[in-house]
Amino acid sequence: MKINYHNVTRLCHTRRILSVNGQFPGPPLIAREGDQVVVKVNNHVSNNVTIHWHGVRQLRSGWADGPAYITQCPIQTGQSYTYNFTLTGQRGTLLWHAHISWLRATIYGPIIILPRRNESYPFQKPYKEVPIMFGEWFNVNPEAIINQALQTGGGPNVSDSYCINGLPGPLYNCSKKDTFKLKVKPGKTYLLRFINAALNDELFFSIANHTLTVVEADAVYVKPFDTDILLIAPGQTTNVLLKTKPDFPNATFLMAARPYFTGSGTFDNSTTAGILKYKHPSNNIKKLPLFKPTLPAINATGFVANFTRKFRSLANSQFPANVPQTVDRKFFFTVGLGSNPCPSNTTCQGPNGTKFAASVNNVSFALPSVALLQAHFFGQANGIYTSDFPEQPLTPFNYTGSPPNNTMVTNGTKALVLSFNTSVELVLQDTSINGAESHPLHLHGFNFFVVGQGFGNYDPTKDPANFNLKDPVERNTAGVPAGGWLAIRFLADNPGVWFMHCHLDVHTSWGLRMPWIVLDGPQPNQKLPPPPSDLPKC
């Protein structure tokens, strides 16, 4: 992969963007389960860059994970780094993206892991497979926007459009020709591989007059279910089957995506659209008018809760759900927005004139100046990070329907250390009251099982009785519901340093992120090997 500059025009604005191989969005990585993947990334731009293989388990290959200052120092201008990892036990759709600052805005692409050669899908063989990637387009450099968000302490300026495969679509000004078109034949089954690479918004998606059958999420098969509308958070992937109508005249159907965003209303709520077009062999058939889909209202928290509950692991003998049935360590984390004192000489736009921040257990994570994984591996934590990440919130949290009055955060570079093969239960409690959006929490290095979710306060005496330990969905990114909680379980069987963060980039930048350190196990095959010789230096 060459990271280079590339001129792109959208919405009548031409901008020199950072790209991979001069493509926007970037090229797909297509491989099979079990393949070893070797990608040399050459940096030909003036920004520092890293690439993350989002959702790839990276079993004992943490040096190839990619988050800047967590597993590696960035690849500097003129330098290169070779990512080397094996795709074990996963098949389906994931994504790769830049993992430094907001460079994911333009540096992203699909990862398609096909089943092993002699294996087939546990659903009808599709006639065709189509990746559909959501993203955002900025008329200005997104780096300028992040700096504004961090310095003024206000919300970020929003992107200028959402996109489908890099195209904003016909509902935006000056964008008609930049519309994604999917041409289909009647009576066929298409596998659509949805990826949300947008920076800051969960999206609703629908195709007029068509039902979608969800078959996979985050590269794990699920029990198939039908829906007219998808919700997909940044970092999530969803495979669906689309059965086209058996025989249909010359018709076009609009497909559309729009943010599920609640809260202040200062965010963009416009819609990206594409066209599903039936190819009829005859041209003289009368053209029907464009059919349009309906999407849930903005702030449709009830829809979101129902939709996310529909996801269940396949949990059969071929694809079992290895849900940890017992737990070694339980953690309770609050996640949400908070505030920092406003620096002097600045006007801050956060609550009561403070500066917006975001935290996990009231700790706003500060990135170190060298990579944590190196510091950990070589026993050089001193001055880089501390291992005292709080196991409970620093400020006790109680949902009363109004925002907690103490949302001040402390800054720190704190990690939470687990011994090898610890079975972990983690309850994530959202503190953003008054209907802000959910936080799509992403865990690197693992899939986790979503064993429970609910609104209001998590109740440790009652809620665990309702946990699903049989067929919970297994994924790498799941939304902590607005004003609610999410309970997950995972087995810490992968030694290394693993980032966990909100996949809304503005929340990550504000500090809603923390690292887990998983220690080596006693056996040789339970240890992280030493780093490759070309690992970038800071």
**Binding interface with ligand C2O (CB under 6 A):** 52, 54, 67, 97, 99, 235, 442, 444, 499, 501, 503
Our CB check for ligand C2O shows the closer of 67 and 293 to be 67
Our CB check for ligand C2O shows the closer of 439 and 444 to be 444
Per-residue tokens: 348: 């801050």
- CA-nearest of 180, 204, 375, 172 to 296 is 204
HEC profile of 308-323: HHCCEECCCCCCCCCC
- Cβ 22 to ligand C2O, closest distance in Å? 23
- Cβ 500 to ligand C2O, closest distance in Å? 8
The helix (H) or strand (E) run that includes residue 78 is: none
- Cβ 66 to ligand C2O, closest distance in Å? 8
- Cβ 98 to ligand C2O, closest distance in Å? 10
Task: Count each helix (H run) and each strand (E run) in the chain, helices first.
Answer: 4, 32
- Cβ 444 to ligand C2O, closest distance in Å? 6
Our CB check for ligand C2O shows the closer of 54 and 489 to be 54
Our CB check for ligand C2O shows the closer of 57 and 99 to be 99
Our CB check for ligand C2O shows the closer of 63 and 458 to be 63
Distances (CA, A) of 455 to 406, 431, 452: 21, 11, 11
Per-residue tokens: 457: 């306060």
Our CB check for ligand C2O shows the closer of 106 and 175 to be 106
Our CB check for ligand C2O shows the closer of 235 and 412 to be 235
The amino acid occupying position 512 is L
Per-residue tokens: 526: 């339970």
Nearest-angstrom CA–CA distance, 192 and 213: 10
Our CB check for ligand C2O shows the closer of 182 and 197 to be 197
- Cβ 244 to ligand C2O, closest distance in Å? 32
219, β-bridge pairs: none
* Residue 320 main-chain phi, psi, to 5 deg: -70, 155
- Cβ 96 to ligand C2O, closest distance in Å? 9
Our CB check for ligand C2O shows the closer of 72 and 301 to be 72
The helix (H) or strand (E) run that includes residue 388 is: none
- Cβ 485 to ligand C2O, closest distance in Å? 22
Nearest-angstrom CA–CA distance, 244 and 266: 38
- Cβ 442 to ligand C2O, closest distance in Å? 5
Our CB check for ligand C2O shows the closer of 99 and 475 to be 99
Per-residue tokens: 469: 């330990």
Rounded to the nearest 10°, the torsion over CA 86, 63, 3, 54 is 60
DSSP E strands: which ranges in 33-172? 36-43, 51-54, 80-86, 92-98, 108-114, 128-137, 161-164
- Cβ 95 to ligand C2O, closest distance in Å? 7
Nearest-angstrom CA–CA distance, 293 and 205: 9
Our CB check for ligand C2O shows the closer of 255 and 518 to be 518
- Cβ 404 to ligand C2O, closest distance in Å? 27
- Cβ 148 to ligand C2O, closest distance in Å? 22
Per DSSP, the residues of 409-477 read -EEE-B-EEE-TTEEEEEEEEE--TTT---EEEEETT--EEEEEEEESS--TTTGGGG---SSB-EESE
Residue 439 backbone class (left: φ over 0; alpha: ψ -120 to 50; beta: rest)? beta
- Which residue number places its CB atom closest to ligand C2O? 54
- Cβ 498 to ligand C2O, closest distance in Å? 10
Distances (CA, A) of 39 to 53, 64, 106, 311: 11, 10, 19, 33
Nearest-angstrom CA–CA distance, 377 and 324: 28
- Which residue bears the tokens 């330098």? 79
Our CB check for ligand C2O shows the closer of 67 and 166 to be 67
Our CB check for ligand C2O shows the closer of 99 and 376 to be 99
Nearest-angstrom CA–CA distance, 442 and 104: 15
Per DSSP, the residues of 167-231 read B--TTSTT-TTS-EEEEE-TT-EEEEEEEE--SS--EEEEETT--EEEEEETTEEEEEEEESEEE
